[in-house]
Amino acid sequence: MRKFVVKVSHTGLDDEMSHIETTIAVLRAKYPDDIQELESFRGEFTIVVEATALFDICKLLRHDPDLDYSFLVDLAAVDYYPRQPRFGVSYLLHAIKQNVRLRLKVLISGQSPTLSSVTDIWSSAEWPEREAFDLMGIQFTGHPDLRRILMPADWEGHPLRKDHALGYEEVQFSFNWREIDRRKEYPQE
């Protein structure tokens, strides 16, 4: 990924650029040590921040009247295995008035990676965080109701992790139907 350069010739959207520049300037001033990386790819801007500062940075982005990222569009967890740190969580923020989008990313590692929940800042994060917990096994501290959401409650493991096998169903033909049927995991007579 290309490293971020502040003066990028963008597709004529000067307002968008300046809002992102303002955001970066504010973040740099307030959290100089917590910004790990600034990336720009295909016109999308990503700020990689320290997991420990995530909540405070989100709070600033949401409540600062100049920044005003009032809409959390999406929250997605990614497993970058074998890269370390292994997990990434992306927060796609939208400033409705300026029509600007910004991605905030945190990188975390470990078997049960933990982040602080942003449901207090954007309540729309509630279900996406549950989804990230369910499918990727990311713990969100401070979440009001962190249960599995898509998988059955007794499911073991987190299916979107790269070490969770995809699984398949053996194809049955008339000549081996019974043989395969015997192996299948469902109650039989």
Q: Residue numbers of the site for other proteins (CB under 8 A)?
A: 1, 41-42, 44, 46, 70-74, 76, 78-80, 90, 92, 96, 99, 101, 103, 112, 114, 122-124, 126-128, 131, 135, 139, 141, 145-154, 159-160, 164, 166
Cβ atoms 94, 71 nearer than 8 A: yes
Give the nearer residue to other proteins in terms of CB position, either 30 or 164. 164
Smallest separation, CB 174 to other proteins (Å):
27
Could you tell me which residues are beta bridge partners of residue 90?
A: 76, 105
Nearest to 103 by CA among 55, 166, 49: 49
Nearest to 128 by CA among 150, 109, 154, 102: 150
Give the nearer residue to other proteins in terms of CB position, either 30 or 78. 78
Smallest separation, CB 62 to other proteins (Å):
10
DSSP H stretches of helix in 64-157: 126-136
Give the nearer residue to other proteins in terms of CB position, either 25 or 144. 144
Smallest separation, CB 189 to other proteins (Å):
26
> What SS3 state is found at 116?
strand
Smallest separation, CB 26 to other proteins (Å):
22
Smallest separation, CB 164 to other proteins (Å):
8
Give the nearer residue to other proteins in terms of CB position, either 53 or 146. 146
Smallest separation, CB 17 to other proteins (Å):
15
Give the nearer residue to other proteins in terms of CB position, either 66 or 145. 145
Cβ atoms 119, 129 nearer than 8 A: yes
Q: What is the Cα gyration radius of the chain?
A: 21
Q: Cβ contacts of residue 54 below 8 Å, gap of 6+? A: 104, 106, 115, 116, 118
Give the nearer residue to other proteins in terms of CB position, either 5 or 153. 153
Question: Measuring CA to CA, how many Å separate 106 from each of 47, 76, 112, 152, 172?
Answer: 9, 11, 15, 28, 45
